[in-house]
């Protein structure tokens, strides 16, 4: 396929020593001296005594001017032409050399195919460039094979051996066409007037060959020449003037060649340190990208010439022209640097955050504030701890004040006593935190709650009102005595809670209300036989007699009234509410008592003397007896003044012999008048104004017992159980006082008539 060219100029590049003028030698000498002097201050890139520059071009070792100044294959000539010095390798002019990238930019000749002035002849100016057996390769990444022309087909041919197209290993071509001048565009190399194509990696030779028959005289008016060259793509900028003028003819375009220390890899080269090119400390070796060979680089933080001893010098990052890498103070080190914040500031000196430090006064203030805060927190903690301790102490004190220790000691002595100390929490749980729905009554001393203990035991819990100091002291003692009281007709005290300021008492729960409710009802009346009334009276009297005589020292109830006589399921009387109770007086202090009790039941003598004695209870019991007989309340807020008090109206009625008028309708017509009269006499004795004239509770109980038994003798046939069942039946009839109750009662009377 090789065709003869009609006229072909050919230049090959072969190394050829130039003779150097003597004048230049002298200049060199001067330069060397100058550079030696400079070397003291700045790092040299060339071997000592060698030129560092040729004209405008820096010549770093391994390149050098002359054999002694360069590594083999890197020897350049510094040639003087057209008024300046230029470095040449044979005929190739070096435009620049990069050490770190292993690149050199050279002037590449442009091949051309031109018509002569008459278009009758074609002149070829083909170039061939070979880098055989040299450390250089054409850069495949930075160069492009480029053709310029309006009807141009040019081949790029690589041959491995000189002068043999047949042995060529690579062929490539590029075609550029153009018809009108207007089609051409500056900067656009896309086939119209200009064509570019890539080349393979590691090329060591290229020659251009124009296709002869392709071109035509048709484009002669537009362009006289076609051009082709391997050019640095980035440096090439297509200009329409390349077509329209012949400015490219015989010219050059930049071309990039890679260089490396050839034929050994880094690993191989390091095995023989005498020929290892990276001689500088702090240098690294890099394998070449296009064939065997390596490059040297300075390590990070160093710059300079790694091919020279001590060539890699520390970079003074702090002296960077573009500004210090630190926002604070910069400190250079070998191969690096570090930053610090200037005096009086703190922060991150690498990220531009150095803040001025706080003045000592501000620091002091902050320190004091933090210390104060810590002290405050500590004090708060101590306060909380002390408060808690105080609370425990208060509970302890309460416990002690309420006679808790005395009680505990006593209880310890009497093992087996069924008395329990309850905790505040236990009782809170039992009463749903003393919820008002659990209130079952208000005693003279406090509020009574119904409570259900954890073991499902139903209890009544009495929470005392605030009591005074003296009462507090007595409380424990009184409770101790009450806890000893064990009588079937007295409400049993199960336990207490002393750890609170106001002590609480836990009683057995009595389910059936009290005597007041039974007698007076809530607008309803329940039939109660004289027998039942007598039974309740006797049981209450026995309980009081027990308190007065059997207990030691004697206990005075102090607030005997029908509301304080509770009734259980079998209508058994249970005396309760010992809130006003008092041990029998022993010293002066006992006299100075606030008069307590309930109006209508109060002993008139007690009102005068303020001395609570057992006979006071007898008086009150007398009123209860009257209530049982008459069914009237102890105090009524209607009628004359005399009629208001049951006791005074009773006493005057007795005097006038019309006592029977007062009797309860349910027993008025009872034929057992004698017994009723005897009860009335007993009541009268109890209501004696002078306490000493009243019978003792024991005597009252004995009398009631006698009266009760008397009935059993006279009414032998009368079945007690029958009356009880009758009572139960009747109680289910919730009749009003004046509507049909009598008829029912009459029937009841009639029904028991045959039994008599
Ligand atoms: C292209 O650039 C050249 C030189 O810069 C100029 O002479 C020519 O007119 C430009 N061509 C177009 C089409 O702009």
Residues of the chain with pLDDT under 70: 1-43, 161-168, 399-419, 443-445, 466-482, 484, 522-525, 551-552, 578-596, 638-643, 671, 711-756
Residue 18 beta carbon below 6 angstroms from any ligand 1 atom: no
pLDDT at position 373 is: 96
User: Are 487 and 498 members of one domain?
Assistant: yes
Scored b (16 or more CB within 10 A) or e, 302-332 reads bbbbbbbeebbbbbebbeeeeeeebbbbbee
User: Are 6 and 62 members of one domain?
Assistant: no
In-domain check, residue 569: yes
Q: How many helices (H) and strands (E) does the chain have?
A: 18, 37
Residue 237 beta carbon below 6 angstroms from any ligand 1 atom: no
In-domain check, residue 322: no
User: Are 195 and 241 members of one domain?
Assistant: yes
pLDDT of 725-748, one tens digit each?
Answer: 444 544 443 333 333 333 333 333
User: Are 529 and 657 members of one domain?
Assistant: yes
Q: Do 505 and 462 form a contact (C-beta atoms < 8 A)?
A: yes
pLDDT at position 672 is: 78
Residue 238 beta carbon below 6 angstroms from any ligand 1 atom: no
Residue 241 beta carbon below 6 angstroms from any ligand 1 atom: yes
Residue 240 beta carbon below 6 angstroms from any ligand 1 atom: yes
pLDDT at position 257 is: 96
Q: Do 518 and 526 form a contact (C-beta atoms < 8 A)?
A: yes
User: Are 524 and 558 members of one domain?
Assistant: yes
Rounded distance between C-alpha atoms, residue 686 and residue 696, angstroms: 9
pLDDT at position 603 is: 83
Rounded distance between C-alpha atoms, residue 159 and residue 704, angstroms: 151
User: Are 85 and 154 members of one domain?
Assistant: no
pLDDT at position 423 is: 83
Q: Do 594 and 587 form a contact (C-beta atoms < 8 A)?
A: no
User: Are 580 and 601 members of one domain?
Assistant: yes
Q: Is 56 annotated as catalytic?
A: no
Last residue of a domain, one of 451, 475, 509: 509
Rounded distance between C-alpha atoms, residue 389 and residue 383, angstroms: 10
- In the reported structure, the alpha carbon of residue 189 is separated from the centroid of ligand 1 by a whole-number distance in angstroms of 14
CA pseudo-torsion sign 217, 223, 228, 233? negative
User: Are 578 and 693 members of one domain?
Assistant: yes
Last residue of a domain, one of 293, 313, 333: 313
User: Are 150 and 265 members of one domain?
Assistant: no
Tokens describing residue 173 = 């071509």
Instruction: For residue 535, say whether it is annotated as part of any ligand binding site.
Output: no
In-domain check, residue 391: no
CA nearest neighbour of 417 among 344, 322, 492, 367: 492
Tell me which residue range forms the domain holding 196.
Answer: 103-259
pLDDT at position 367 is: 92
Q: Do 558 and 564 form a contact (C-beta atoms < 8 A)?
A: no
**What ranges in 169-285 are assigned the alpha helix state H?**
241-244, 266-271
| Burial class, 697, CB count within 10 angstroms (exposed 0-12 / middle 13-18 / buried 19+) | buried
Rounded distance between C-alpha atoms, residue 26 and residue 216, angstroms: 56
User: Are 252 and 268 members of one domain?
Assistant: no
pLDDT at position 639 is: 64
Rounded distance between C-alpha atoms, residue 690 and residue 623, angstroms: 15
In-domain check, residue 127: yes
pLDDT at position 325 is: 83
**Closest protein CA for atom 6 of ligand 1:** 241
**Closest protein CA for atom 7 of ligand 1:** 241
pLDDT at position 592 is: 42
3-state secondary structure of 258: strand
User: Are 673 and 623 members of one domain?
Assistant: yes
- In the reported structure, the alpha carbon of residue 246 is separated from the centroid of ligand 1 by a whole-number distance in angstroms of 14
Tokens describing residue 256 = 């990039």
Q: From the candidates 126, 559, 577, 603, which is the catalytic residue?
A: 559
User: Are 409 and 497 members of one domain?
Assistant: yes
In-domain check, residue 367: no
| Burial class, 506, CB count within 10 angstroms (exposed 0-12 / middle 13-18 / buried 19+) | buried
pLDDT of 663-677, one tens digit each?
Answer: 888 887 776 788 888
In-domain check, residue 324: no
Report how many domains make up the chain: 6
Counting from 1 in the atom list of ligand 1, the atom nearest the Cα of 184 is 13
């Amino acid at each position: 396929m090789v065709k003869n060219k009609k006229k072909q100029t050919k230049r090959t590049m072969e190394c050829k020593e130039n003779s150097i003028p003597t004048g230049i030698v002298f200049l060199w000498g001067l330069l060397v001296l100058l550079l030696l002097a400079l070397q003291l201050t700045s790092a040299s890139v060339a071997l000592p005594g060698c030129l560092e520059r040729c004209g405008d071009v820096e010549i770093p070792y391994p390149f050098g001017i002359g054999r002694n100044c360069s590594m083999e294959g890197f020897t350049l000539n510094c040639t003087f032409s057209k008024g300046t010095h230029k470095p040449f390798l044979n005929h190739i002019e070096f435009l620049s050399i990069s050490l770190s990238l292993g690149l050199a930019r050279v002037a590449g000749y442009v091949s051309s195919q031109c018509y002569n002035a008459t278009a009758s002849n074609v002149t070829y100016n083909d170039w061939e460039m070979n880098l055989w057996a040299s450390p250089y390769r054409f850069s495949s990444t930075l160069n492009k094979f480029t053709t310029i022309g309006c009807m141009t087909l040019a081949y790029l041919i690589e041959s491995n051996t000189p002068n043999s197209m047949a042995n060529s290993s690579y062929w490539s071509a590029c075609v550029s066409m153009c018809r009108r001048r207007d089609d051409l565009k500056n900067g656009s190399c896309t086939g119209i007037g200009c064509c570019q194509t890539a080349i393979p990696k590691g090329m060591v030779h290229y020659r251009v060959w124009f296709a002869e028959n392709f071109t035509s005289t048709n484009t002669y008016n537009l362009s006289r020449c076609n051009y082709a060259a391997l050019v640095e793509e980035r440096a090439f900028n297509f200009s329409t003037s390349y077509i329209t003028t012949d400015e490219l003819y015989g010219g050059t375009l930049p071309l990039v060649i890679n260089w490396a220390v050839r034929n050994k890899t880094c690993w191989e080269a390091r095995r023989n340190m005498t020929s290892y090119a990276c001689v500088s400390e702090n240098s690294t070796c890099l394998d070449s990208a296009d064939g065997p060979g390596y490059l040297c680089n300075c390590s990070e933080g160093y710059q300079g010439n790694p091919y020279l001893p001590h060539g890699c010098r520390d970079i003074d990052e702090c002296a960077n022209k573009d500004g210090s890498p630190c926002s604070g103070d910069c400190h250079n080190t070998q191969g690096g640097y570090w930053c610090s914040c200037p005096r009086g500031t703190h922060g991150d000196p690498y990220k531009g955050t150095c803040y001025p430090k706080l003045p000592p006064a501000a620091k002091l203030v902050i320190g004091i504030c933090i210390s104060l805060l810590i002290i405050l927190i500590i004090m708060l903690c101590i306060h909380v701890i002390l408060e808690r301790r105080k609370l425990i102490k208060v509970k302890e004190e309460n416990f002690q004040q309420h006679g808790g220790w005395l009680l505990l000691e006593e209880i310890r002595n009497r093992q087996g006593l069924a008395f329990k100390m309850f905790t505040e929490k236990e009782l809170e749980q039992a009463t749903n935190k003393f919820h008002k729905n659990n209130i079952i009554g208000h005693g003279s001393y406090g509020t009574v709650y119904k409570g259900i203990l954890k073991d499902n035991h139903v209890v009544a819990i009495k929470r005392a009102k605030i009591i005074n100091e003296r009462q507090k002291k007595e409380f424990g003692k009184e409770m101790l005595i009450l806890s000893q009281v064990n009588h079937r007709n007295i409400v049993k005290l199960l336990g207490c809670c002393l750890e609170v300021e106001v002590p609480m008492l836990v009683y057995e729960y009595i389910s059936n209300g009290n005597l007041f409710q039974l007698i007076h009802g809530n607008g309803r009346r329940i039939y109660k036989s004289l027998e039942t009334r007598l039974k309740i009276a006797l049981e209450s009297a026995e309980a009081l007699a027990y308190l007065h005589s059997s207990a030691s020292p004697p206990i005075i109830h102090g607030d005997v009234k029908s509301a304080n006589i509770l009734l259980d399921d079998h209508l058994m009387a249970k005396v309760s509410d010992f809130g006003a109770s008092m041990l029998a007086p022993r010293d002066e202090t006992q006299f100075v008592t606030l008069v307590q009790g309930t109006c209508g039941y109060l002993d008139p003598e007690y009102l005068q003397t303020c001395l609570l004695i057992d006979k006071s209870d007898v008086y009150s019991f007398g009123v209860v007896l009257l209530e049982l007989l008459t069914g009237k309340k102890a105090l009524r807020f209607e009628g004359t003044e005399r009629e208001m008090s049951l006791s005074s109206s009773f006493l005057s009625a007795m005097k006038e012999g019309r006592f029977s008028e007062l009797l309860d309708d349910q027993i008025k017509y009872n034929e057992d008048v004698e017994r009723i009269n005897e009860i009335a006499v007993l009541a009268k004795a109890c209501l004696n104004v002078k306490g000493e004239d009243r019978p003792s509770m024991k005597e009252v109980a004995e009398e009631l017992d006698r009266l009760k038994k008397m009935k059993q003798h006279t009414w032998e046939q009368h079945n007690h159980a029958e009356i009880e069942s009758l009572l139960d039946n009747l109680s289910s009839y919730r009749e009003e006082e004046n509507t049909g109750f009598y008829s029912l009662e009459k029937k009841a009377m009639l029904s028991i008539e045959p039994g008599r």
